[in-house]
A and B are shown apart, each in its own frame.
Chain A
Amino acid sequence: MSDLNAQMVEKYRNSFLKEVEANVEEGEWVKMCMQCGVCSGSCPLGPYWEHPPQEIFMMIRAGKREEVLKSESMWMCTSCYNCIVRCPRGLPITHIMHGLAHYAERLGLAPKQNPTRRFALMFWDNIAKHGRVNETVLSIKLYFMDGFSAGIKRALEMLPVGLGMLKAKRFNPWGLFFHKGCKGKRDIQKILAKAREIELAKAAKFGG
């Protein structure tokens, strides 16, 4: 259990809902769900969610903290925003799902092996460092995330796709070495560090 998680468990022993409201992006909306299920029915990956959004909201109200935060469900979100535009109660569901996933990640509860989680973190690392996406580095990291041999296998599977892109000049093999990113990458790093600091201070305030 991470330190932050231990803190949060202590603070919100009786109300996971309150914890979510305080710490999760747009979390104060969770209580407004009226359980119609339109979100679940509108999600393109709906059938793959162990707990579709409607259920997640109910679980939060029912205090199922571990089950929610450890769930792979939120990581199924493709950010298509279908649930948002259809929710009759106007809940920013996509953001809540992102927020829950991020919160779970911060607490160290997110499912470690979930491929979307791993890709998403890689992606963020990539841009947080350079300011811009280095598609080459990102794809190579993605292929090799399960180790060298799995990476080779995956790279071979993806080879035709890569070659197609290369031929169309939409893939840059030299990007591995020569992608520069932003000039102001130091600035960006400073901004991000500060933003993170503010966010943690806020969580600590609610949590402490």
Chain B
Amino acid sequence: MSDVKIGAYICKGCGLGDRLDTAALAKIAEREGKAAFAKEHDFLCSEAGVAMIREDIEKEGVNRVVIAACSRRAKTDAFAFDGDGVAVSRANLREGVIWARPDTEEARETTQEMAEDYVRMACAEVRYMTPPQPNPEAQTNRRILVVGGGVSGMTAALEAAKAGYEVTIVEKSGALGGWAAKLHRRVPDHAPYADPQETGVEAMIQSVEADPRIEVVLNARITRTSGAPGRFSADITTESGQTRTENFGAIIQASGFIPYDASKLPELGYGKTPDVVTQLELEELVRQAGGGPVKRPSDGKEVRSVVFVQCAGQRSDKEGHLPYCSGFCCTASIKQAMYFKDQNPDIDTTILYTDLRTPGYLEDFYRSGQRKGVIFTKGVASEVKPANGGGAVVHFKDLILDEDVQVEADLVVLATGMIPNSGVDIEKPEKREGQSDEDYQKALEEARVRMGLNPGEESVLNLQYRQGPDLPKLRYGFADSHFICFPYETRRTGIYATGPVRRPMDITQAMEDAVGATLKAIQALENAGKGRAAHPRVGDLSYPSFRRDGCTQCKRCTVECPFGAIDEDEERYPVFNESRCRRCGTCMGACPVRVISFENYSVDTVGQQIKAVDIPDEFSEKPRILVLACENDAYPALDMAAQNGIHYSPFVRIVPVRCLGSVNTIWVTDALNSGYDGVILMGCQKGENYQCHFVKGSEMAHYRMGKIGDSLEQLQLEVERVQTYEVAITDIERAPRLINEMEQLIEKIGMSPFKF
């Protein structure tokens, strides 16, 4: 560490100069923080302030910069000195100190103490940081593998090709086009959204086939996938059994959906009379009619009346039904009713619905249907029975008129849903030794929700990852990581799910979705080539490495990585696939022997901050509370609290962490050992509706902290001294309250006896 040269810069702007003794802070940075020098500045983020720091870096050889000013979330552009051998740490004196404290004479001393500690902490942190360098082994491949040749897959391929990337589409069937190719017409995607339109699938297939950048392999499957973003390797095996191996930079999984099996709906007449059909089967009937009147399957009579039953086997808790809404079926029924109305306005068409869902501009399509005379009846079908002499009788409850009604129709169309084709359940529960039956049943129930009706029989990708051959499922078998926050981001970096395998959607949405997934794939492979993270720590050059001689091959890191980024070698040592890594540090938090670290984020960079804090003695009435706060939610919540003038205890010292999953329990036990009176961990919402950027990080932290009770008992400390909370970014009032509650608790149970 001989070549470390710390320059500490203390800002006096934004009221810092009035509220704090900045000269004292400068002195602390030099004496205790071992800064080569410390400088005060009236307005550090100004052009002059920034120029001053730049000059020190260039002329004085400063390579570790401490910015003691505002929160690390503010002025990131001005203070972007990192890279090129320079590391930066930020002491949060504005949001973290003066705005979090009242401007009163009696608060002045403790406020100053807070600021002094944050300066100490920043100096300690930066001393242990290494400026991150991109992985010298970073490489990439600009070819994209698209799995599935339906509308989603073809759109992805065309978009990638347009952007200049080579694409290979692997389609398991003998033709491109998927389910959309079986449609007579599609729901419109442009104004005036009034009539069904050509599907456009033929034209799309032609474009794909004509594109020199796109290779199409039909009747083929992926039998093996390995590697990482930038260097995926996949075996493509054709029906004839021939396999070839190809390399790709990123993968788009557009494996689509499986239509719901309507034979599970005998109560709705399916299978009892050929005059009850699914939407997909109606498309075929209409195609057969070739523009003429549609004929009734049972006897070939011209259809004069049709009833569409929405939500058939969907949005229902019944066994074997889909609990979710497939999203496309309402507008599909409107479209199909128009097939009849456009052909002959005198045909009665009734759509039996409970909630008509017409996403986007398709409300206009709904209106158009109404104008064409399609009758929309709000009701729930209870039973469909074959009628004497053909057709069927639909029994339903009219929800507006609150009565049981029956209506006869020549044809009944069931709007059944879509099931994702997302491969096997990689988290399939197996009864572990010592696991109670109850816990095992719970795990099975979770798996049932996770997989839905997805058959899960055959793998799509056959990943050679430690964590299993397919993408993890979020819910009901859909391969996603978070429907709202991170669309396309599966939990396997560089592999993007798109179209109905990700969530139920129609053609318009699938095409839009595929564009997004393609951009993500391009982003992933390009970043992989530069050795940078693609998501969510975009551009992060740091990546985890481990000290081989200390590793006990315990496999915790490989098991707990939420992204399957770590494989094991033959000797069971971890193999970090840096381009699969999201840089959350969950591995670092998992490691019992603390051999995993990032260049600029390690057990030491945080551990030394904790140690740097000045711990007053037991009789000072100045307890110390350590907060380890997730940098994505809890830390900004506390910043915002201060911005909103919400004050909190002066005895708290807050350390942002990449994810609560990166918290190594050693930090907590070290803190308690060195005299902290309480420790609070603030992470994101975990569990089913998790909000964690790293999916499992917060959950892992809660799990690990659940076991810290033993350590506390050994130290003969009260278990309440360590609290783990889920804090959302909106918890701007609650987060400070949790801190204050810890202060009150300490007042009640007394100071820690571990002060020196």
Contact = CB atoms under 8 A, between A and B. Distances in A.
A and B touch in the complex (CB under 8 A): yes
B280 to A, nearest CB: 27
Nearest to A17: B375
Of the listed residues A32, A34, A55, the one surrounded by the most CB atoms of chain B closer than 10 A to its CB is: A34
B400 interface: yes
A35 B376 CA distance: 9
A34 B375 CA distance: 10
Interface stretch (A58-66, A98-106, A121-129): A58-66
B400 A58 contact: yes
A54 interface: yes
A58 B398 contact: yes
A112 interface: no
A114 B376 CA distance: 32
Contact of A58 (B366, B367, B373, B378): B378
B270 to A, nearest CB: 26
B401 interface: yes
B400 A35 contact: yes
Contact of B376 (A34, A54, A55, A64): A34
Nearest to A35: B378
B356 interface: yes
B370 A55 contact: no
B377 A31 contact: no
Contacts of A32: 367, 370-371
Contacts of A62: 377, 398, 401, 405
Contacts of B356: 34
Contact of A59 (B367, B371, B373, B401): B401
Interface string B377-395: 1100000000000000000
A58 B398 CA distance: 9
Interface in B221-257: none
A17 B346 CA distance: 13
B308 to A, nearest CB: 15
Summarize A's interface: helix, strand, loop or mixed: helix
Given A31-B373, A61-B375, A54 B400 contact: yes
Nearest to A29: B370
Nearest to B358: A34
A58 B371 contact: no
Contacts of B367: 32, 89
Contacts of A58: 377-378, 398, 400-401
Nearest to B405: A62
Contacts of A34: 356, 366, 370, 376
Interface in A48-102: 54-55, 58-59, 61-62, 64, 89
Interface string B420-448: 00000000000000000000000000000
B100 to A, nearest CB: 46
Interface string A20-58: 000000000001101100000000000000000011001
A148 to B, nearest CB: 42
Contacts of A31: 370-371, 373, 375
Nearest to B401: A58
Q: Which range contains the number of B residues in contact with the other chain?
A: 10 to 19
Interface string B400-416: 11000100000000000
Contacts of A35: 376, 378, 400
B702 to A, nearest CB: 43
A110 to B, nearest CB: 21
A64 B400 CA distance: 13
Contacts of A55: 400-401
Nearest to A51: B401
A61 B377 contact: yes
Interface in B146-191: none
Contacts of B377: 58, 61-62
A55 B401 CA distance: 6
A89 B358 CA distance: 14
Interface string B353-369: 00010000000001100
B85 to A, nearest CB: 61
Contacts of B405: 62
Interface in A171-187: none
Contacts of B378: 35, 58
A17 B398 CA distance: 17
Contacts of A59: 401
A64 to B, nearest CB: 8
Contacts of A61: 375-377
B461 to A, nearest CB: 43
A17 B378 CA distance: 16
Contacts of B373: 31
Contacts of A54: 400
A113 B395 CA distance: 37
Contacts of B375: 17, 31, 61
A100 to B, nearest CB: 17
A54 B375 CA distance: 14
A32 B371 CA distance: 7
A32 B366 CA distance: 9
Nearest to B372: A31
A62 B376 CA distance: 10
B396 to A, nearest CB: 11
Contacts of A64: 401
Nearest to A52: B400
Contacts of B401: 55, 58-59, 62, 64
A34 B378 CA distance: 9
A95 to B, nearest CB: 18
A61 B400 CA distance: 12
B20 to A, nearest CB: 56
A59 B405 CA distance: 12
B36 to A, nearest CB: 68
Contacts of B376: 34-35, 61
Of the listed residues B356, B366, B375, B400, the one surrounded by the most CB atoms of chain A closer than 10 A to its CB is: B400
Contacts of A17: 375
A45 B711 CA distance: 69
A54 B378 CA distance: 11
A54 B367 CA distance: 17
B96 to A, nearest CB: 48
A32 B398 CA distance: 18
B374 to A, nearest CB: 8
A32 B373 CA distance: 9
A58 B399 CA distance: 10
A89 B369 CA distance: 14
A89 B376 CA distance: 14
Of the listed residues A32, A35, A54, A89, the one surrounded by the most CB atoms of chain B closer than 10 A to its CB is: A35
A28 B373 CA distance: 10
Interface in A4-25: 17
A64 B401 CA distance: 11
Contacts of B371: 31-32
Contacts of B398: 58, 62
B400 to A, nearest CB: 4
Nearest to A30: B370
B349 to A, nearest CB: 12
A35 B401 CA distance: 11
A35 to B, nearest CB: 5
Nearest to A14: B348
A161 B450 CA distance: 72
Nearest to B363: A34
B277 to A, nearest CB: 24
Contacts of B370: 31-32, 34
A54 B400 CA distance: 8
Interface in B483-497: none
Given A32-B371, A61-B377, A62-B405, 13 more contacts: A17-B375, A31-B370, A31-B373, A32-B367, A34-B366, A55-B401, A58-B377, A58-B398, A58-B401, A61-B376, A62-B377, A64-B401, A89-B367
18 contacts: A31-B370, A31-B371, A31-B375, A32-B367, A34-B356, A34-B366, A35-B376, A35-B400, A54-B400, A55-B400, A55-B401, A58-B398, A58-B400, A59-B401, A61-B375, A62-B377, A62-B401, A62-B405
Ranked 7 nearest A-B pairs via Cβ: A58-B400, A31-B370, A32-B370, A35-B378, A61-B375, A55-B400, A58-B401
